[in-house]
Chain A
Amino acid sequence: GNSVTQMEGPVTLSEEAFLTINCTYTATGYPSLFWYVQYPGEGLQLLLKATKADDKGSNKGFEATYRKETTSFHLEKGSVQVSDSAVYFCALSERAGNQFYFGTGTSLTVIP
């Protein structure tokens, strides 16, 4: 079946530190991969996506590369800001029915 495993949190970093949040997946087919972000009291916002192997998704300084050989889609940012504090979800979607499988979420707090 399909599943997503992501790094347990919470993660606390100082401003301008490097961020990595690990994400690995199991899928029966060839999924698209996504990172969503959730700010307190809000729904999920798409951060970035990749639809095939070796694709790199990027947005707002965040990057993630679809690695089929390691079934991974790790999220990285070179220099985090206080405003990046949120919960980050890794997700996959396969062909049928636009059903998304989410990881458990990783809470990130960035301190000044």
Chain B
Amino acid sequence: KAGVTQTPRYLIKTRGQQVTLSCSPISGHRSVSWYQQTPGQGLQFLFEYFSETQRNKGNFPGRFSGRQFSNSRSEMNVSTLELGDSALYLCASSTTGTFTEAFFGQGTRLTVV
């Protein structure tokens, strides 16, 4: 069974640009959530999508947005990039039930210069 796939693995962008990250969940998983990991702030929840609807959102500015497609694949977009957006962005997928574990991808390492 294939795991969670995130593309690309590495990205370098310039301040002010925008970026789109992609996540393909495990087959059959309909919930996809996104996390930002930085040395200073640790792992912070961005948002969660279930059946193409945003079900939960963390405390991030509106520059961070996402969407989910009918095949459960998800994209995350960051507009007007800032240096502080440099981080490892992790996607996690899970089944529809509550109290289920999340399966994480390897992440996309975004560097903003």
Residues of A whose CB lies within 8 Å of any CB of B are 32, 34, 36, 41-46, 49, 51, 89, 93, 95-105
Contacts and interface: CB of A to CB of B under 8 A. Distances in A.
A100 B99 contact: no
Interface in B38-83: 42-43, 45, 48, 50, 55-56, 58
B33 interface: yes
| Chain B facing A: main interface SS | strand
Given A32-B99, A43-B105, A102 B94 contact: no
A99 B22 CA distance: 19
B106 A97 contact: no
A104 to B, nearest CB: 5
Contacts of B102: 46, 93, 98, 100
A2 to B, nearest CB: 10
Contact of B33 (A36, A99, A103): A99
A49 B33 contact: no
B48 to A, nearest CB: 5
A5 to B, nearest CB: 12
Interface residues of B, number: 26
B18 to A, nearest CB: 24
A49 B103 CA distance: 13
Contacts of B106: 41-43
B90 interface: yes
Contacts of A101: 45
Contacts of B31: 98
A99 B56 contact: yes
Given A43-B105, A97-B55, A102 B42 contact: yes
Nearest to B44: A102
Given A43-B106, A46-B102, A96-B55, 11 more contacts: A42-B106, A43-B6, A43-B90, A43-B107, A44-B90, A46-B103, A51-B99, A97-B55, A100-B43, A102-B35, A105-B42
Given A43-B90, A98-B33, A93 B99 contact: yes
B43 A43 contact: no
The 5 closest A-B pairs by CB, nearest first: A97-B56, A43-B104, A102-B43, A44-B104, A32-B99
